[in-house]
Amino acid sequence: MVLVTPPSNGIHLMLRLCLCCRLVALAHDPHPQIAACPEGTEAASLDIAKAYCNSPILPNHKKYLPVYWRDRVYVQHVAIEGLATAGGIQGTVADACLQILEYHGIKPVVKWVDDFVLFRELLPKLTPNSTTSFPYNLADILSITHPLSIPWHDVFKKGQDFASSFNYISFTWDIKQRTVHVPLEKWIRAINKIQYALSSLTLTRHDTTSTHGYPPAPHLHLL
């Protein structure tokens, strides 16, 4: 157990610490896409249920990926997540998925580890009286990725269908309003955790790691 003494100069220092911990995640945010979205753009979000899994190696590739240990050479049949020999496996598979989606016209797509945000824009009207439509829907995307056996979460559990706003890396992004904010329930939960931390004489490692990941910025406009 690790005991941590909370700061003595109040909640504002704790909030600034939380902000620093979230800046790395925001380096992968969909801000550029949202700021440049034409009117009517929508986005859907998908989440991989089992990230950081082992990845099978093609038989033709095994000769390039042996492991030398204690004067013996071992053939790898599976790239084991977490080993130095399999660095970036999760990102490699996710990047390949992006390339396949782009090939099928699904773009732009933003991803961070196991979280994907997929945008779609309105098709041009053939006539002034034509109804608006989109080039694809969520079912089309799932049919493209189905042969890849990507274990997506059910969107009713985690993720969502296409809409003008969406949740991603603990923020709610509003395309129409060009804003990003912390969902109210997360904001209240974060404040409660921080107030508990400031009122406690000691904190466990679990208390600290449970608190520092929360983003403090309540509302931002995307310019």
Residues 195 and 160 occupy one common structural domain? no
Token readout for 174 is 């509003």
Asked if residue 126 belongs to a domain, the reply is yes
Q: What is the pLDDT of residues 103-115, one digit of tens each?
A: 999 989 988 888 8
- Using an 8 Å Cβ cutoff, are 197 and 207 in contact? yes
Domain with 197, as residue range(s), is: 1-29+178-223
Assess whether 59 and 109 both reside in one domain: yes
pTM of the complete model beyond 0.85: no
In this structure, are 159 and 214 located in the same domain? no
Q: Residue 123: which of 112, 136, 113, 132 has the closest Cα?
A: 132
Q: Which residues contact 200 (CB under 8 A, 6 or more apart)?
A: 6, 207
Domain identity same for 182 and 164 = no
Determine phi and psi for 166, rounding to 5 degrees.
-155, 160
User: In this structure, which long-range contacts are made by residues 188-195, counting pairs with CB atoms below 8 Å and at least 24 apart in sequence?
Assistant: 189/214, 190/18, 190/214, 190/215, 190/216, 194/11, 194/14, 194/15, 194/18, 195/11
CB atoms < 10 A from the CB of 110, how many? 22
pLDDT at position 32 is 65
Indicate whether 55 and 86 sit together in one domain.
yes
Same domain, 164 and 182: no
Asked whether residue 34 is assigned to any structural domain, the reply reads: no
Residues 21, 48, single domain; the answer is no
Give the count of domains, the chain.
Answer: 2
For residues 70 and 163, state if they share a domain: yes
Q: What is the pLDDT of residues 124-139, one digit of tens each?
A: 888 888 888 999 999 9
* Mean of the per-residue pLDDT values of the chain: 78
Residue 222 lies in a domain: yes
The amino acid at residue 60 is N
The separation between CA 127 and the C-alpha centre of its own chain, rounded to angstroms, equals 38
Residues 61 and 13 in one domain: no
Give residue-wise pLDDT tens across range 199-223: 888 878 777 777 765 444 444 444 4
Q: What is the mean pLDDT of residues 171-184?
A: 86
Residue 36 lies in a domain: no
Tokens of 123: 């098709």
